[in-house]
Amino acid sequence: EKGFKPDKVTLVGVLSACSHGGLVEEGYFHLNSMLKEYGIEPDNRHYACMVDALGRSGRLKEAGSFINSMPIKADALVWGTLLAACRVYEDVELGKLAAKKAIELEPSDPGAYVSLSNILAEVGEWEEVEETRKLMKGTGLQKKPGWSSV
């Protein structure tokens, strides 16, 4: 109303706020308004925020369908976002799919391997954990150690 026109970065912030606030429907509204109201094409960062919103609310199947209906090809960020939600809700099958897609897109990133391994460990699939870790080591990747600064 005051003449403020958001840009792509502003809209990532709006969608992220919707995700963290559990406001899935509002997130859809803002995503759809990007092109209609502001002439801004959503990119993978915007779609990842919606996948995060759906994932945080436990709507994993809907998140998977959402990814498959995106007008652009989902990148590793989008698939990794779904993978993170699969870990929270212990959805092994969808997690395997998300990890496979993320690994195909970013084969040098150990994150998807580690997340998949963690999902499998949480549900006691130890043989698959070992397979996943061997696959990761076979590609020469290593899990980066965690650190913090105080």
**In this prediction, what percent of the chain has a pLDDT beyond 70?**
92
* Mean per-residue pLDDT, 76-100: 97
The pTM assigned to this predicted structure is 0.88
DSSP string, 85-145: HHHHHT-HHHHHHHHHHHHHH-TT-THHHHHHHHHHHHTT-HHHHHHHHHHHHHTT--PPP
Identity of the residue numbered 16: S
pLDDT per residue as tens digits for the range 5-25? 899 999 999 999 999 999 999
pLDDT in tens, 112-145: 999 999 999 999 999 999 999 998 887 777 666 6
Q: Which fold has domain 8-138?
A: 1.25.40
* Cβ contact 122:90 at 8 Å: yes
